[in-house]
Structure 1
Amino acid sequence: MKRCLFLLVVLFYCSSCSRSPEKALSREEKLENVLKNIVPPKISDNILLITDFGAVGDSLHDNKPAFDKAIQACKEQNGGKIVVPAGIYILNGPIHLTSNLCIDLQKGAKLVFGANPADYLPAVLTSWEGTFLYNYSPLIYGYQLENIAITGDGVIDGNGRDNFSKWAENQKESQLLSRKMNKENTPLKDRIFGEGHFLRPQLIQFFECKNVLIEGVTIKNSPFWCVHILKSENVTARKVKFDAFNRNNDGFDPEYSKNVLIEDIDFNNADDNVAIKAGRDHEGRRTAITSENIVIRNCRFKGLHGVVIGSEMSAGVQNVFVENCSFGGYCKRGIYLKSNPDRGGFIRDIYVNNVTFGEVEDCFFITSYYHGEGKGFETDISNVFVDNVRCRRATNAGVVIQGYPSKKVRDIHFSNVKIDSAATGVSLSHAENIVFNDVIIGEEVKVPSHAK
């Protein structure tokens, strides 16, 4: 009997060994699998004209009551499409969305938000630089919703330049308090900011939302981040245009979010075009919701940085695809991955394919020691694949990789990269298995010279 059992075990083991290992998916196959799970919401056929609810686009009247009434009507009717015709619509307070709602800004329509901070109270649950807290309401706010859309050829103007934007000079005390609460795990109910504090609200925030579309609109003059995609999934952003030059005017900030498509965007931002995040420090590691399956394609970058991952990314970021993008103007850095030893988490499985930049300071930059600070929670950065990237000029460096002594950046692959000129071609420290295949920085060296 024992001999028979032994024989069966041996046969099973040999059978298992003979199976061929599963073939690893290619970048194209991985991308296709991600895109299958991103489907824009169906927009309701129930049309509501905002002017039927008392809205007047004369740049004088307060249209918040009209929007509140129209949104309530959509809620009672289980969905609707609020059409905003041409005109300038002042809103002295935020728009709070509801499920199964589309706001369609027709050509010539412009929403301009009022400048009185008190109009954005009471405080709502939100997040600020990777820490959950109660603060002034984002100007357009969706919380725990499904099937929502903002579409059309109109403009959303945060009117932040002369009010909220100036708060950046006074935010330090509240900023440090939020970080202290993060580190000490202060109960969420006690993290009350708003009045008496200077944390600027986001222009648009989708918080714990599913099935979201933002398409066509122009976004400008935001108080803080422009579009914050927070703990949300199945989000499509398409053909959006940015004209946002205030401090911290990031374009899109996906955080703790998955299945996000950002495509055909014209960026023009004073800060990051796309900044992928996943919470800050202790709270990010406790929340442990990875930002993943994010596709950025067919975009035109212009502003501070093209695509950034971090620095608040403590829950981890993975499966990011930057595809077929070019530039609409200057970027300080093209692709920028940044963390420090306070963050922890990981950045992995990042794919950059067929991307072109003009003049930058640095074309490709990875650092595990952002701002030269932090300890105890090093970030694991690995498996980054850069293929077919072109850059005309890097005034500082072509490729920079800065790992950390106890956690090296590893397994970074460059193929078919051409940078016409760079003050420094390559700078690597605390990095291992960095692979270059057909990489030229500066003039291509061809046939070697010979003695005459």
Structure 2
Amino acid sequence: MKTTHNQLRRYALISLSLVSLTFNACKEKPKQEEKAQYDLFAAADNIIKSINPLEFPDREFNILEFGAVADGSTLNSEAINKAIDSCSAVGGGKVIIPAGDFLTGPIILKSNVNLHLETGANVLFSTNHDDYLPVVHTSYEGVELMNYSPLIRAYKQHNIAVTGKGILDGQASNSNWWPWCGKDDYGWVEGAPKQHDSINLPTLRKMNELQTSVEERVFGKGHQIRPTFFEPFECENVLLQGVTITNAPFWVIHPLKCNYVRVDGVTVSSHGPNNDGCDPEYTKNVHITNCTFDTGDDCIAIKAGRNNDGRRVNIPSENIVIENCNMKDGHGGVVLGSEISAGVRNVYARNCQMDSPHLDRAIRIKTNTLRGGFVENLFVKDITVGQVKEAALKINLHYGIYDNQEGEYIPKIDNIYLENINVENSGKYGILIKGREEAIIKNVTLKNVHIKKAKTPLSVEFSEPIQFENTTINGESY
């Protein structure tokens, strides 16, 4: 992407703040002075400031004027995308989806367009899989491929937004998309095709291992690999704001190789298989705020490519701020991994609530020696946790070992800092850390952390001693 003077200014702002505030402080051992600890989170404010508000020309393009019909059965793909193309062609503006039920195939965002869903707008995505063809360059579980189009896609665009109070309904269900996961809980029946059949994920995994060119990794029709919902790919200046997203085929919000992304006030309510709420991947300078995540998988999961694909792309996900969010059902609240081969650094989570009998962990890091990768500088502050099932904090460097996911790439975990965390019911463990003899976890600090109702307070393997300050588990001081 072309770098402008304004972008250079923003790069300089972030670099200066992170160097002066984060890295210098982090290289010291924990138990620093109070001012130094505060500065760790001041760096997050500079990341937020670097993500400029988006501006669009004062022009409106109503999809009704392009032939859209709000009857819930007429396919409006052509009308919606024609409105977007027309808006972008004249320099941008706002494309309006008014109140009503609009059936559509993939929506293709273009530069300088704000796709705005008015109150009462209900966008229903087609259940005809052929509508998502021809195949496009996309990604599945950290591996690039040619596959069904994401439901909303932008490729190498800039200054794009989806906003408003409407609903984006993927219409995935136990009879559409979800059965392909191969689990009877989601509608799969014995003998039906599924993603783990030899022509699907095993073939894609082998292509990843051999680094077959992406153009040759052709899936789509005749295969069972589900598309993502919202996927800006190699885009800059992205906004997703206000909308509700439900019934996703697969990962819900997936910024891929993007820069300057804000997700604000979005509700994700989607309980299908692998329905992660928001998965920034190979992406930097991200602000996720004021959102609600009620999901079938991780609420927020920071990704960085799987195995050889991650090492080939080699773009860490970094400078990510998560705040003022509400996590309900899900495998984890804030998660780093498991597709993490290019590494993750400088992640800040603060002022969030997490609570559900169906939320497994609050904070989680997961990788193995096949994925490798690194996590540097995860800072978590002011989190209230009602109930989780397994642990308040889980770090696992043995993820997926029963699926033969062992290799020669040693992960590195360094500088994990939790402050002002209150957990009412931590389930099986308070803190669960499983490092490796060849990959000792370093610099884990808990300050003002109070965890209740943990069946096992601590289970720690292959980690430097945790640095505790004013921390209690089940009422006992550490």
Same fold per TM (> 0.5)?
A: yes
RMSD value over aligned CA atoms?
1.4
Is structure 2 residue 431 aligned with structure 1 residue 399? yes
Q: 2:407 maps to which residue?
A: 375
How far is the alpha carbon of 1:23 from its aligned partner? Answer: 6.3
Is structure 2 residue 166 aligned with structure 1 residue 154? yes
- The letter of the residue matching 1:244 is S
- Gaps (5+ residues) in structure 2? 1-22, 26-35, 183-193
Q: 1:54 maps to which residue?
A: 67
**Hey, what's the Cα distance between the residues in 1 that align with 2:299 and 2:477?**
35
SS in 1 for 2:327: strand
**Hey, what's the Cα distance between the residues in 1 that align with 2:356 and 2:91?**
44
SS in 1 for 2:340: coil
Candidates 123, 133, 136, aligned match of 1:111: 123
How far is the alpha carbon of 1:400 from its aligned partner? Answer: 0.8
How far is the alpha carbon of 1:33 from its aligned partner? Answer: 2.4
Q: 1:9 maps to which residue?
A: none
Is structure 2 residue 249 aligned with structure 1 residue 219? no
**Residue by residue, what CA displacement relative to the aligned partner does 1:96-147 show, whole Å, maximum 9, x if unpaired?**
1111111110111000011111110000000111111100000100000000
SS in 2 for 1:34: helix
Q: 1:40 maps to which residue?
A: 53
**Hey, what's the Cα distance between the residues in 2 that align with 1:387 and 1:414?**
6
CA contact (8 A) 2:470 2:477 kept: no
How far is the alpha carbon of 1:445 from its aligned partner? Answer: 6.7
**Residue by residue, what CA displacement relative to the aligned partner does 1:44-63 show, whole Å, maximum 9, x if unpaired?**
31111111111121212211
CA contact (8 A) 1:359 1:392 kept: yes
**Hey, what's the Cα distance between the residues in 1 that align with 2:170 and 2:164?**
17
Q: 1:357 maps to which residue?
A: 385
**Hey, what's the Cα distance between the residues in 1 that align with 2:283 and 2:24?**
28
- The letter of the residue matching 1:396 is K
Candidates 439, 442, 461, aligned match of 1:429: 461
**Residue by residue, what CA displacement relative to the aligned partner does 1:72-113 show, whole Å, maximum 9, x if unpaired?**
21122121201111101011x211111111111011100001
Distance 1:181 1:445, change over 3 A: closer
Candidates 320, 342, 346, aligned match of 1:294: 320
**Residue by residue, what CA displacement relative to the aligned partner does 1:280-339 show, whole Å, maximum 9, x if unpaired?**
111211211010000000000012210110001000100000011012534111101000
Identity %: 41
CA contact (8 A) 2:361 2:394 kept: yes
- The letter of the residue matching 1:315 is A
SS in 2 for 1:29: helix
Greater mean alpha carbon deviation, residues 217-226 or residues 363-372: 363-372
Is structure 2 residue 256 aligned with structure 1 residue 230? yes
**Hey, what's the Cα distance between the residues in 2 that align with 1:138 and 1:180?**
23
**Hey, what's the Cα distance between the residues in 1 that align with 2:406 and 2:150?**
30
TM-score (norm 2): 0.87
- The letter of the residue matching 1:51 is L
**Hey, what's the Cα distance between the residues in 2 that align with 1:387 and 1:422?**
18
- Gaps (5+ residues) in structure 1? 1-21, 447-452
- The letter of the residue matching 1:96 is I
CA contact (8 A) 1:267 1:328 kept: no
Q: 1:132 maps to which residue?
A: 144
How far is the alpha carbon of 1:425 from its aligned partner? Answer: 0.3
Q: 1:17 maps to which residue?
A: none
**Hey, what's the Cα distance between the residues in 2 that align with 1:275 and 1:364?**
14
Candidates 192, 202, 207, aligned match of 2:228: 202
How far is the alpha carbon of 1:196 from its aligned partner? Answer: 1.2
**Hey, what's the Cα distance between the residues in 2 that align with 1:443 and 1:37?**
41
Greater mean alpha carbon deviation, residues 148-157 or residues 173-182: 173-182
- The letter of the residue matching 2:396 is T
**Hey, what's the Cα distance between the residues in 2 that align with 1:107 and 1:45?**
20
Q: Max radius of gyration: which structure? A: 1
CA contact (8 A) 2:41 2:379 kept: no
- The letter of the residue matching 1:218 is T
Q: 1:332 maps to which residue?
A: 360
- The letter of the residue matching 1:319 is N
Q: 2:30 maps to which residue?
A: none
How far is the alpha carbon of 1:444 from its aligned partner? Answer: 4.5
CA contact (8 A) 1:217 1:241 kept: yes
Q: 1:310 maps to which residue?
A: 337
**Hey, what's the Cα distance between the residues in 1 that align with 2:293 and 2:42?**
28
CA contact (8 A) 1:266 1:328 kept: no
Q: 2:187 maps to which residue?
A: none
Q: Greater strand share, 1 or 2?
A: 1
- The letter of the residue matching 1:262 is I
SS in 1 for 2:293: coil
How far is the alpha carbon of 1:68 from its aligned partner? Answer: 2.0
Q: 2:374 maps to which residue?
A: 346
Q: 2:133 maps to which residue?
A: 121
- The letter of the residue matching 1:98 is K
SS in 1 for 2:466: strand
**Hey, what's the Cα distance between the residues in 2 that align with 1:154 and 1:328?**
26
CA contact (8 A) 1:350 1:384 kept: yes
CA contact (8 A) 2:354 2:362 kept: no
SS in 2 for 1:230: coil
**Hey, what's the Cα distance between the residues in 2 that align with 1:68 and 1:445?**
59
**Residue by residue, what CA displacement relative to the aligned partner does 1:339-386 show, whole Å, maximum 9, x if unpaired?**
001112210100000001111121110011112341210100010101
Candidates 151, 164, 187, aligned match of 2:213: 187
- The letter of the residue matching 2:307 is D
Q: 1:19 maps to which residue?
A: none
How far is the alpha carbon of 1:167 from its aligned partner? Answer: 1.2
**Hey, what's the Cα distance between the residues in 1 that align with 2:85 and 2:334?**
38
- Give the number of aligned pairs: 424
**Hey, what's the Cα distance between the residues in 1 that align with 2:355 and 2:56?**
31
Distance 1:413 1:315, change over 3 A: same
- The letter of the residue matching 2:138 is T
**Deviation >3 Å, runs of 4+:** 22-25
